[in-house]
């Protein structure tokens, strides 16, 4: 199971990156940290700087065919930066076109909205994205984790760090089904 974790150079919520990353590794998968820039990314614990992590590859240098699934961690600044990067948005859209599963937590669905892939889909997020998701044609619900298969791929979404255990279980189930 090869899993891409797509983040901006700064602003990812650290636990929303590190916990799913660990879950993928413990399941025998291979996580890859992708970003729109090289070097290291700066993670945050809410609004405070946390650790930095080395970027494995830049998003413009990889293909959707290289991966079985995609994870979009949250943090407010992270998806806000990703949705303004054409290569990042195109990469997300290509996962849907290829029918491969995508998992997104917290503010991560902002990038999904920009990629125009939430229309007709049920998903959850941090509550402040509710109106954005509805305006983009999605059906927002307030649930711990939502797995929507009403489309070309499985879309796994969760609201916040407190939902990480359920989020990880769902994404591993869906990603494993594709890589099997």
- Phi, psi torsion values for 45, nearest 5 degrees: -105, 95
Nearest to residue 73, comparing CAs of 18, 130, 142? 18
The active-site residue out of 83, 100, 107, 160 is 107
| 107 carries an active-site annotation | yes
Residues near 131 by Cβ (< 8 Å), separated by ≥ 6?
Answer: none
The answer to whether the Cα torsion of 153, 26, 49, 7 is positive or negative is: negative
**46 noted as active-site residue:** no
Q: What is the pLDDT of residue 180?
A: 64
- Rounded to an integer, what distance in angstroms lies between the CA atom of residue 34 and that of residue 54? 9
Q: Per-block average pLDDT, block size 10, for the chain (180 residues)? A: 98 98 98 97 97 98 97 97 98 97 98 98 98 98 97 95 98 88
Q: What is the largest CA-CA distance in the chain?
A: 39
As beta bridge partners, residue 123 has 140
Mean pLDDT of the chain: 97
Architecture per CATH, 2-179: 3-Layer(aba) Sandwich (3.40)
Residue ranges of domains in the chain: 2-179
Q: Name the active-site residue from 106, 129, 136, 154.
A: 106
Concatenate the DSSP letters of all residues of the chain into one string.
Answer: -EEEEEE-SEEEEHHHHHHHHHHHHHTT-EEEEEESSSSEEEEEETTEEEEEEE-SEEGGG--GGG-SEEEE---SHHHHHHTT-HHHHHHHHHHHHTT--EEEETTTHHHHHHTT--TT-EE---GGGHHHHHHTT-EE---SEEEE-SSSS-EEEESSGGGHHHHHHHHHHHHHHHH-
- Residues 111 and 104 sit within 8 Å (Cβ to Cβ): yes
Angstrom CA distances, 20 to 40, 60, 86, 118, stand at 19, 23, 25, 22
pTM: 0.98
């Amino acid at each position: 199971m090869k899993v891409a974790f797509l983040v901006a150079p700064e602003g990812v919520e650290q636990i929303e990156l590190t916990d799913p990353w660990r879950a993928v590794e413990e399941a025998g998968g291979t996580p890859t940290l992708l970003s729109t820039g090289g070097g290291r990314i700066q993670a945050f614990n809410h609004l405070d700087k946390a650790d930095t992590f080395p970027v494995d590859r830049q998003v413009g240098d990889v293909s959707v065919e290289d991966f079985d699934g995609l994870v979009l961690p949250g943090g407010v600044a992270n998806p806000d930066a990703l949705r303004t990067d054409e290569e990042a948005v195109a990469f997300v859209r290509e996962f849907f076109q290829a029918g491969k599963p995508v998992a997104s937590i917290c503010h991560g669905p902002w990038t999904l909205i920009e990629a125009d892939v939430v229309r007709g889909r049920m998903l959850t997020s941090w509550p402040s994205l509710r109106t954005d998701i509805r305006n983009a044609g999605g059906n927002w619900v307030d649930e711990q984790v939502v797995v929507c298969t009403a489309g070309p791929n499985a879309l796994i979404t969760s609201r916040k760090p407190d939902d990480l255990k359920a989020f990880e279980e769902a994404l591993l189930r869906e990603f494993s089904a594709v890589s099997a």
